[in-house]
Amino acid sequence: MNTQIIPRIGIILGSTREGRFGDKPARWISDIADKRTDLEFELLDLRNYPLPFFEEQLSP
């Protein structure tokens, strides 16, 4: 019985501001990463998590 553990790597999209640019390179990286079969990747967008301190319009 061979149970291989496949590492999981999160690609974190850290900006939550309106008009952000980070979603474009994050999706590009995710598309490339999804072609690998030896690792699992997950795109994590911080907009999907309730983080009230990230609701500012501009960088502090």
pLDDT tens, position by position, 25-54 = 999 999 999 999 999 999 999 989 887 765
Alpha-carbon gap, residue 46 to 5, rounded angstroms:
27
Instruction: List the domain range (segments joined by +) for residue 21.
Output: 8-48
Tally of domains within the chain: 1
pTM: 0.70
Characterize the bridge pairing of strands 8-13 and 40-45: parallel
Alpha-carbon gap, residue 10 to 56, rounded angstroms:
24
Residue 55 lies in a domain: no
Q: Which two tokens stand for residue 39?
A: 């690792």
Alpha-carbon gap, residue 13 to 21, rounded angstroms:
10
Alpha-carbon gap, residue 45 to 43, rounded angstroms:
6
DSSP label at 20?
Answer: -
Residue 1 lies in a domain: no
Residue 36 lies in a domain: yes
